Amino acid sequence: MKRAGFTMIELIFVIVILGILSAVALPKFIGVSDQARAGKCKAFVGTLNRTVGPTAWSQSISEGKDGNVSSYLSPANITKYTDVPSECNDSVTNAHNSYTFGSSNYDMNFTDGNTSNTPRWTWEKLN
């Protein structure tokens, strides 16, 4: 009589192989959510530099405020141009912010504009 199915040895081998694969892949996916949150703030810095900064700077120049945009950087003004991610919601009104996502530390800095330069936000990984 011929039986169809897997033997116990075959099933054990499959379980061992799946265990090895998960042990190799799991460390790769541990910090993915922290990396995504940091990436979201980094992308937000790019959005600030492309949309909010130049718009507020040109408005400041036209009003004779020499390119200083600090007075325009209220959360209400920022949300007119872009959505502020919850991961970096205090970043638009402060000159310096520190963030920790998992075991990595980041800094977001703001440099106000002047008559010849638009305002600039920067994002850097500290460790």
- Give pLDDT tens digits for 68-118: 887 777 666 677 777 778 777 665 656 677 888 888 899 888 888 888 888
User: Within 10 A of 52 (CB to CB), how many other CB atoms are there?
Assistant: 23
How far, in Å, CA of 33 to CA of 37, rounded?
6
This prediction's pTM: 0.71
CA 21 from centre of chain: 30
| Helical axes 8-30 vs 32-47, angle rounded to 10° | 30
Provide the phi-psi class of 67: left if phi over 0, else alpha when psi is between -120 and 50, else beta: left
